[in-house]
Structure formats: structure tokens, C-alpha cells
Amino acid sequence: MSKKKRSTGYAKWGYIFCLPFFITFLIFSLYPTLYTMLVGFTDLHGIGKTAIHILKDDPFANYKATLTSPTFQKALGNTLKIWICNFIPQLGLALLLTAWFTDRRFKVEGEGIFKVLFYMPNIITAATVAILFNALFGYPMGPVNDILTRFHIFSEPYNFLVKKTVAQNIVIFIQTWMWYGYTMIILVSGVLGINPEIFEAAEVDGANAWQTFWLVTIPNIKTILLFTLVTSLIGGLNMFDIPWLFLYGGPDNSTLTTSVFIYKQAFSGGYLYNKASAASMIMFVIIVIISLYLFFMMRDKDEAALKKIRKQQEKEMRRKMKEARS
């Protein structure tokens, strides 16, 4: 109570300090969001056009066209497939390394250096990585082909980049390669945050390393695993740099993700801003649903509980005062 009284006169400063954030958010985030939504209902297309006319016959035409478009469906399917196929090995590898790096029975020499190296691909510009891998898998004399033929694994160079599944798998590999180090660091820090007494108790109870990991470590980092899953999913749904610069979504749309689809629709060829906006909003809704889920999982639980108690107390007090009055 006393805290409240003390700071009443200062309340306006709270608004003042948060104002720059709020104004920037309105201009650069909220307005573009609403405008994108609006454009999705119009016939806006063509380079340099800005005038908008709401579609009269069927305002939802762009949304319907996008949802039924085979290319969009393909892009959405690719996006999910690339994400799932990169997330599973990424998480598996990260968990394995986490188990090794946090094992209390022995210390891995050079752990620090390994962490630095595993995380390194993540910090390098994705645009650079995409073009580098394009060069590495070059045909006929890219470095990968050079190694494969020199060690007689392949008798002649293989043209990786024109094969649909191979190209898709390389994108999956790049994503895994870029992100497993990040996931590992997050998980290791999560495990180090667990109360050591729990592990000691498990040791006393005679649990082996395998049991300790699955029955003690994993349940204790559940929240962090969830955080990793959701942030990775949202990042995966927006994948652009790698698939775009690796092969521009090709060959035959096999590495086309929804972000590449939106970019291609809006900023090359037909400049179909309306169709691209509809696609953006569809992705936006998907991401908002996932974010809301994470939001409710990550809420400051103690704080929410405290607030509930405080409110109840206030109610009680008011009730008592009322009773006293009557």
C-alpha cells in the first residue's frame, strides 16, 4: 500500500518513459499490420501503385485465391517439412551434447572451445551462408564434388542443385547446422539452472546417467524445451534468407517457403501486393496463435498468482467496509 501512495505523483512518468516505444510501435508495427490486412482485401498490384480499392464482388477473393493456390499450399508444406526435418535432428543433437556437457561424472575437455565452434555458424550472415553453400555444392567442380570424387565415393561429379529432394535436404541441413549450437547453449544453461540437490538425490537413489537424464533433467527443463520449440517454429515459419539466396526457392519450387512465396509475389514479376498481403495475413494468424500459446505458458506465474491474491484481498476489504457501514 505504502508503495502505491509514494509513487502516485510519479505515475505520469511511467507513461512518458514508455511513450517512445509505443509511438514507434504504432507507426512501424501496428499501422503496417493493419495496412497489410487492408491490402489483402483490395486489387492493389503493379509496381509503384499505392491507390487502394476494396474488392466489391468478393472482399475475400485474395484470401480464397491464396488458400486454394497450389503454389501457396506447396510453399506452406515445404516450410513445415523443412522446419520439422531440421528441428528433430537439431534438438536431438543439442540434447545429446547437453547430456555430455552437463554430465556430473566427467568433464569434457575443451568444452568451451566446442561451444564456441558449434555456435559460430549461427552468428554469420545467413545471406553469406546461403551463397557459400550454393558454391560448396557447385557443379561440376564445387568443393563437395571435389572431395567426393577425390576419395572415389562418387565416380563422377553429381549435380546436387537441380535435384528437388537433394536441394531441399541441403536447406534442411543448413538450418540444422546453423541452429543446433544455439539450442545446445540454451539447453545447457537450463540444465545448469536446475538445483544440484535434485541430481545428488538421484545419485543417492542409484539412478544411472541415462535414467538421470530422462527422469530428472528433461522434466526440469520442460519450459525451456517449450520455449525452444515455439521460437524455432516461429523462426521456421519465416524462413527466408537461406531458401531465397540458396536457390531462389527452386528447383521446381522444392525450396519455396511461404516467405519466399510472399516476397516473389509482392516484389518481383507481377507485384501482386494484394495476393501477397493475403498470404502474409494467413501466416500472421498462424504465428499469432502460436505466440499466444507461448504467452500463456511463459506468463510470470508467481506474479499472476500474487495479483489474484491482492485483488481478492481488496474485494474482501471493500465487502467488510460495506458490512461495517450497513
Partner 1 sequence: MTNKNKSTLKKVFIIIICILLSILSLFPFVVMLVNSTRSTTQIQQHAVSIIPSSFFFNNLKILVGKSFNPAVGFGNSLTISICATALTVYFSTMTAYGLVIYDWKLRDAFFSMIMMIMMIPGQIVMIGFYQMVYKLHMTNHLLMLILPAIAAPTTVFFMRQYMKPALSPEIVQAARIDGAGEFYTFNRIVLPIMKPAVATQAIFSFVTSWNNLFTPLVLLTDQKKYTLPIMVSLLKGDIYKTEYGCVYLGLSLTALPLIVVYLVLSKYIIAGVALGGVKG
78, 217, 255, 277: residue in contact with partner 1 (rule CB under 8 A): 277
Of 70-78, 102-110, 196-204, 313-321, the segment contacting partner 1 by CB under 8 A is 102-110
83, 182, 213, 261: residue in contact with partner 1 (rule CB under 8 A): 182
Report the alpha-carbon distance of residue 235 to residue 221 in Å, rounded.
21
Q: Which is nearer to partner 1, 292 or 320 (CB)?
A: 292
Per CB under 8 A, 152 contacts partner 1: no
167, 170, 171, 186: residue in contact with partner 1 (rule CB under 8 A): 186
Alpha carbons within 13 A on the beta-carbon side of 55:
19
Spell 114-134 as b/e; 16+ CB within 10 A means b. bbeebbebbeeebeebbebbb
User: Which residue, among 229, 186, 289, has the nearest Cα to 87 in the 3D structure?
Assistant: 229
Report the alpha-carbon distance of residue 102 to residue 33 in Å, rounded.
43
142, 236, 243, 249: residue in contact with partner 1 (rule CB under 8 A): 142
Report the alpha-carbon distance of residue 187 to residue 232 in Å, rounded.
13
65, 71, 138, 203: residue in contact with partner 1 (rule CB under 8 A): 138
1, 2, 16, 155: residue in contact with partner 1 (rule CB under 8 A): 16
Of 103-111, 161-169, 200-208, 211-219, the segment contacting partner 1 by CB under 8 A is 103-111
Q: Which is nearer to partner 1, 305 or 319 (CB)?
A: 305
Q: Give me the amino acid identity at 105.
A: R
Query: Quick one: cell of 18?
Result: 514508455
Q: How far is the CB of 177 from partner 1 (least distance, A)?
A: 7
Per CB under 8 A, 84 contacts partner 1: no
166, 198, 229, 234: residue in contact with partner 1 (rule CB under 8 A): 234
DSSP assignment of 38-73 equals: HHTTB---STT-----B-SS-TTHHHHHHHH-HHHH
Q: Coil, helix or strand for 94?
A: helix
Q: How far is the CB of 270 from partner 1 (least distance, A)?
A: 13
Q: How far is the CB of 220 from partner 1 (least distance, A)?
A: 13
Per CB under 8 A, 306 contacts partner 1: no
Report the alpha-carbon distance of residue 41 to residue 38 in Å, rounded.
5
Report the alpha-carbon distance of residue 153 to residue 82 in Å, rounded.
27
Alpha carbons within 13 A on the beta-carbon side of 227:
11
Locate cell 535414467: which residue? 211
Per CB under 8 A, 65 contacts partner 1: no
x-or-dash string of contact with partner 1, 26-55, rule CB under 8 A? --xx-xxxxxxxxx----x---x-x-----
Of 56-64, 72-80, 108-116, 314-322, the segment contacting partner 1 by CB under 8 A is 108-116
Q: Which is nearer to partner 1, 222 or 319 (CB)?
A: 222
